[in-house]
Structure 1
Amino acid sequence: MPDESTVDTVACIGAGVIGGGWVAHFLAQGFDVRAWDPAPDAAEKLARLVDAAWPALTELGLKPGASRDRLTVTATLAEAVDGVGFVQESAPEDLSLKQKLLADIDAVTAPDVVIASSTSGYGMTEMQVAAKTPERLVVGHPFNPPYLIPLVEVVGGKLSAPWAVERAAAFYRRVGKSVITMDREVPGFIANRLQEALWREALHMVANGEATVEQIDLAITDGPGLRWPVQGPMLTFHLAGGEGGMAHMLDHFGPSLKSPWTRLDAPELTKELRDAVVAGCDEEADGRTIADLIAERDRAVIAIQRAVGQARRG
């Protein structure tokens, strides 16, 4: 079985926002990338996405050999996976589509190559049911945009082999990712479940007129969000306990867990709630286009990563 350190060509199946972000990341890491997407305008959209990401990737530092010219958009799925060392699938979140596509990828990919799915919620157990060699299928869940956010959650399904999970995790670390190798499957994985809890509470507050979209965002960006890049929510609460740490935190604030501070059930997404959230985002954007906001986000993420890295190095 080949060593993951020898992989020099990656296939990206699906070239939307997530798949295109993976393409940009792998190119910046100095790989040859083959991309396939059935959309008729996929090549043009992918080129625009890579071009938009390249300034941020250049700012972060390109690896030797990194070049946008190393991208090939293929006409067929079989061409995309021929001779590659790793496959990243990033199709839309549709279970039946994922099941069929992963089976199709499995059928035309060399048997010793790991196939990873960018799914944001489905477990590999439910996606690998139609594959002939399901043992090499794993989840490699990234975060948007994959070329900037380092986290990838890796987990196999019931039919996945431990070696596939280990090789996927090793490969992602090789390409500069921060990897969580999960012990077991859970719907939505780890980070999305945490995000979803915050998202649902935010929707409740908008629906009830308790907070505006801008107030909710400001509450995070100028509040706990400033601490999370450094130590995360658990260590943040650990420090809230003072010298007694988390033990004191739980003993002192434990009773507040029964207080009505959160509503984890999702509110009904009525037209009124949808329109209020959309209007709030438009108001907060204040004339900035999606492209403007993406550029602003990318600059900020780079600055945060550099500042946090410097702080950790002392």
Structure 2
Amino acid sequence: MNGQRQRTVTVIGAGTIGLGWVALFLGHGLRVRVNSRRADAPRVVDEALRLFAPFLPEGTADPVTFSDRLEFEPDLGRAVADADVIVENAPENLELKQELFERIGKAARADALILSSTSTLGPDDMGARMADSSRLVVGHPFNPPHVVPLVEVVAGDRTSPDAVAEAVEFFTSVGRVPIVLRKPIMAFAANRLQSALLRESVHLVREGVVTLEELDQVVTHSIGLRWATVGPFLAFHLGGGQGGLRKWLGTLGAGLERGWELLGRPPMDDETIQSLIAQAERAYGDKSYEELVRERDAKQTAILRTLAEVSAKD
């Protein structure tokens, strides 16, 4: 494949994830071609770039240069024909993605790297109708992809190891942190962790232990802050003091299974859903989506910047 500055990346879909990818790729000096069925795609992308550009990683390209490397091609075949990298962001519908990748496989170059942002589907299933799906790799980002570094890289039985290596190289080249999952699993790793925490969050709010807004504060002022610097296992390794995880598991961690039995399994019935929506609107409804995004991205980029400064001093 060509060097980073010479690559053309086709981004399929102008939804939340696709728009984040467009901003990130332009920020890293790539040529970006947007393929979308939306007639207003140029306007939507322009608005997203204005919203996202201030929070791109330091050292990325000046946003005034973006328009020189950005184009729109509504025809899928033409959009992927000469692309080095293709990043698909269509809805989570298996039949839709199978049809899409079949068309991509027929139109794309044989050496093109084909990536999917799917959060639930495997490459073998999505590429079932392709003559050759060996170049199809899952690259699942954590929203927002222009800020949060993680990308889960998932291969299938038919995926070429070279394609996996190229996916890792590509995501690394645009400042992401790719983690290759060692075995396929439904919903991958990060979303499973998020789902486990969300389930107990819903339980605590539903039972009236805390409000939705208070639950968010509990997380951001404790485990959220902790996990921004150390993962769960390192946290408890440190929690064991000089004895590390060995000591912690033998003392405080000895009752883990009993504690797990106490965790809630809240029903997502209409009453629960309407209560969560009402509380969210009371807590955050006085600000627009754009205002909340700016606050979120400003805080997250500040954390990333500080962590980078600390690492540079080590």
Q: Return the TM-score normalized by structure 2.
A: 0.93
Bigger CA drift: 48-57 or 234-243? Answer: 48-57
Whole-Å Cα distance in 2 between the matches of residues 112 and 31 of structure 1?
18
Q: Give structure 1 regions of 4+ aligned residues with deviation exceeding 6 angstroms.
A: 262-265
3-state SS, counterpart of residue 199 of structure 1: helix
The answer as to whether partners of 2:77 and 2:103 remain within 8 angstroms in 1 is no
8 Å contact from structure 1 (residues 9, 32) kept in 2: yes
Distance 1:202 1:113 in 2: 42
Mapped contact 1:200–1:263 kept (Cα < 8 A): no
Partner Cα distance (1:166, 1:99) in 2: 23
Which moves more between the two structures, 46-55 or 288-297? Answer: 46-55
Partner amino acid, structure 2, of 1:68:
F
Amino acid at match of 1:313: A
What residue is the counterpart of 1:179 in the other structure?
Answer: 178
* Unaligned residue ranges in structure 2 (runs of 5+): none
* 1:201 is the counterpart of 2:200: yes
One-letter amino acid of the counterpart of residue 10, structure 2: A
Partner of 1:267: 266
Partner letter of residue 110 of structure 2?
Answer: P
> How far off its partner does 1:278 sit?
1.3
* C-alpha deviation, 1:208, in angstroms: 2.2
Query: What is the letter of the counterpart of residue 206 of structure 1?
Result: V
- 1:235 partnered with 2:234: yes
Where in structure 1 are there 5+ consecutive unaligned residues? none
Matches within 5 A, 1:121-200: 121-200=120-199
What is the rounded CA distance, in whole Å, between the counterparts of 2:261 and 2:164 in structure 1?
Answer: 35
The alignment of Structure 1 onto Structure 2 pairs a total of residues equal to 312
CA contact (8 A) 1:4 1:170 kept: no
- 1:63 alignment counterpart: 61
Q: 1:264 to 1:140 in 2, by over 3 A?
A: farther
Q: Which amino acid in structure 2 is aligned with residue 278 of structure 1?
A: I
CA distance in 1, matches of 2:38, 2:282: 33
Q: Which residue in 1 is equivalent to 2:217?
A: 218
Offset at residue 301 of structure 1 (A):
0.9
CA–CA distance in structure 1, aligned partners of residues 261 and 153 of structure 2: 29
RMSD, aligned CA: 1.9
Measured against aligned partners, the alpha-carbon deviations of 1:40-64 in whole angstroms (never above 9, x if no partner) come to: 333322221122111222x733237
Asked if 1:246 is matched to 2:236, the reply is: no
CA distance in 1, matches of 2:262, 2:37: 41
Q: CA deviation at 1:284?
A: 2.1
C-alpha spacing 1:120/1:200, structure 2 compared with 1 (3 Å): same
CA distance in 2 between counterparts of 1:282 and 1:20 reads 25
Distance in structure 1 (CA, Å) of the matches to 2:76 and 2:262 = 44
Write the distance in 2 (CA, Å) between the matches of 1:223 and 1:193.
20
Distance 1:18 1:64 in 2: 21
Percent identity over paired residues: 38
Shift of 1:125: 2.4
Contact 1:7-1:86 at 8 Å conserved across structures? no
Q: Larger deviation: 158-167 or 210-219?
A: 210-219
Are the aligned partners of 2:33 and 2:79 in contact in 1 as well (CA < 8 Å)? yes
Supply the distance in 2 between the matched residues of 1:289 and 1:257 (Cα, whole angstroms).
Answer: 41
Q: Please give the alpha-carbon distance, in whole angstroms, between the structure 1 residues aligned to 2:145 and 2:114.
A: 17
Match of residue 286 from structure 2: 287
- Are the aligned partners of 1:21 and 1:145 in contact in 2 as well (CA < 8 Å)? yes
1:54-110 alpha-carbon deviations (Å, 9 max, x no partner): 1222x7332379722111111201121121111110111112111211221111100
Give the aligned partner of residue 90 of structure 1: 89
Q: One-letter code of the match for 1:202?
A: S
